[in-house]
Structure 1
Amino acid sequence: MIRIFGVFTIICATLASAGAARSDAPVTIFAAASLRGALEAALDGSGIDARVSYGGSGTMARQVAQGAPADVVILANVAWVDWLEENGHIAVSTRTDLLGNRLVLVGPRGAADLGELNADTLLERLDAGRLAVGHTEAVPAGIYAQEWMQAAGFWEALRPQLAETENVRAALALVSRGEVPLGVVYASDAQADPGVRILARIDPDTHAPIVYPMALVTGRDSDGARAVLEHLVSERAEDAFVAHGFTRVGDLP
């Protein structure tokens, strides 16, 4: 059984869940927002009783550090997991790189081809509109997007027209609803939403590799949590992730 909970609902259960995780309790997973849908598919049929809370990776990491009762974390950025590790919040021996992803530029469904990808064509398409991205100082997809724009020489021109969001799925929704003409999201997000169209695939050499590390939270060891870690690196789970637009770690550029 897989249940999805809001992060604040999970946090409110902290007192009731204090201490080490019970072996018979549902496994609580804190996961990057971009994993919504794919993670359920990967866990489907595993027999594991899990509940999943989604959010921006920075938000998830900070909540874990503050004592939110997560058993397993899967984030979309190596730096946030490094931070958790440095502060003693994850069991280092359980850390593994689970998945990869790619960055794409999207427009609403039916958007015209963009042509050459440069600052002029992007500004022309934006007109008075905004470019939706995850927050460029905290959300991994936004951090990668900023790295790309800086490497491509677009940053200074596009920075005033950014619409920064709390997670990548919020950026995706702005494009899908037609509220902005362009957005930078993951390829898996674009695949998940028929309301958007991929206009360009961003060169992976222009930003840090997109990696999703997974680890057990310190003090939350249980048979169920270990079963989640084992299942999610299985071939069956990997195939489910790939079917949802993610990449195998071995296929990263």
Structure 2
Amino acid sequence: MLLNTIRYLLIASLISFSAFAKADFMIVAAASLTNALGDISKAYQAKTGVKITTSFAASSALAKQVENGLPADIFISADSKWMDYLYDKGKVDGTSRKEFLGNTLVLIAPKGQSFRANLVKGGQLANAFEGKLCTGETETVPAGKYAKEALQKLGLWDGIKSRVVGTEDVRAALAFVERGECAAGIVYETDARISKKVDVIGTFPEDSHAPIVYPMAMLSQSEEAKAFLEYLNQADAAKIFAEYGFKRLQP
């Protein structure tokens, strides 16, 4: 049993190394960018022949992986704090950094199981539904941090905090709600838009939390990666981001 496990890990390591070796560069990006950036990367590869490896997870998890030696070339975070974290560790080329996308925070429920909730100061949420509320881990994952901040500012946190389930990233929170394992969730609008299994209950006021900003920056001096970073600011990429609901912060 142990031998088989060791063999599996060795094979997995070789496959992973091979994938990195064949790629011209690697992007690590927030889980909420999975679909949009995946489409953009495919289009860019088809256009240029450049091979791209992508890895999507919570910004917090990716930042820790980069800190520990993950050989990535571009980092795109769902908040500024984790980009700042890597910059302070000497991992980010600060001259390449751009805050280029924005998003919106929404409350969701499984399809057909909507309820009324007032997302205003002094409103009602805890009594509006039964069961758990899923979002990203509220101390580390950007979506969860934005969610906690919004609930606190609206005076809704104390009534619901015992029912909050923190997940490894925002897509995990979406999946829990899709399966009905959580009766409600707080995710980005762009996540809700890609799912046919959830309903949007409401949108959190923009002033209830810090602006949702996606900074991107270089982690290496790869010329291929630099060219792709510039491509992300161009019209073709901007169109795909817009189709998924992201707000472009820079023209």
TM-score range, shorter chain: 0.7 to 0.9
Q: CA deviation at 1:45?
A: 2.3
* Maintained 8 Å contact 2:119/2:205: no
Paired residue for 2:25? 27
How far apart, CA to CA, are the structure 2 residues paired with 1:206 and 1:39?
28
The root-mean-square deviation of aligned C-alpha atoms, in Å, is 2.4
Aligned to 1:126, the other structure's residue is in SS state coil
Identity %: 38
Give 5+ residue unaligned stretches, structure 1.
1-7
Select which of 180, 193, 197 maps to 1:195. Answer: 197
Higher gyration radius (CA): 2
Aligned to 1:245, the other structure's residue is in SS state coil
Paired residue for 2:242? 242
Superposed CA deviations along residues 171-214 of structure 1, whole A, max 9, x for unmatched, are: 00011111111000000000011111110011011100001110
Paired residue for 1:39? 37
Superposed CA deviations along residues 54-79 of structure 1, whole A, max 9, x for unmatched, are: 11100000110111011110010100
Q: CA deviation at 1:221?
A: 1.4
Paired residue for 1:233? 233
How far apart, CA to CA, are the structure 2 residues paired with 1:98 and 1:12?
34
* Maintained 8 Å contact 1:41/1:241: no
Q: CA deviation at 1:117?
A: 3.6
Select which of 61, 65, 68 maps to 2:67. Answer: 65
TM-score scaled by length of structure 1: 0.86
Q: CA deviation at 1:43?
A: 2.5
How far apart, CA to CA, are the structure 1 residues paired with 2:238 and 2:91?
26
Select which of 161, 166, 178 maps to 1:159. Answer: 161
TM-score scaled by length of structure 2: 0.87
Paired residue for 1:5? none
How far apart, CA to CA, are the structure 1 residues paired with 2:108 and 2:43?
33
Q: CA deviation at 1:124?
A: 2.6
How far apart, CA to CA, are the structure 1 residues paired with 2:139 and 2:114?
30
* Maintained 8 Å contact 1:43/1:237: no
How far apart, CA to CA, are the structure 2 residues paired with 1:248 and 1:143?
22
Residues 215-234 of structure 1: matches in 2 within 5 Å? 215-217=217-219, 220-234=220-234
Aligned to 1:124, the other structure's residue is in SS state coil
Select which of 125, 132, 135 maps to 1:133. Answer: 135
How far apart, CA to CA, are the structure 2 residues paired with 1:69 and 1:185?
29
Q: CA deviation at 1:113?
A: 4.1
Select which of 204, 209, 214 maps to 1:212. Answer: 214
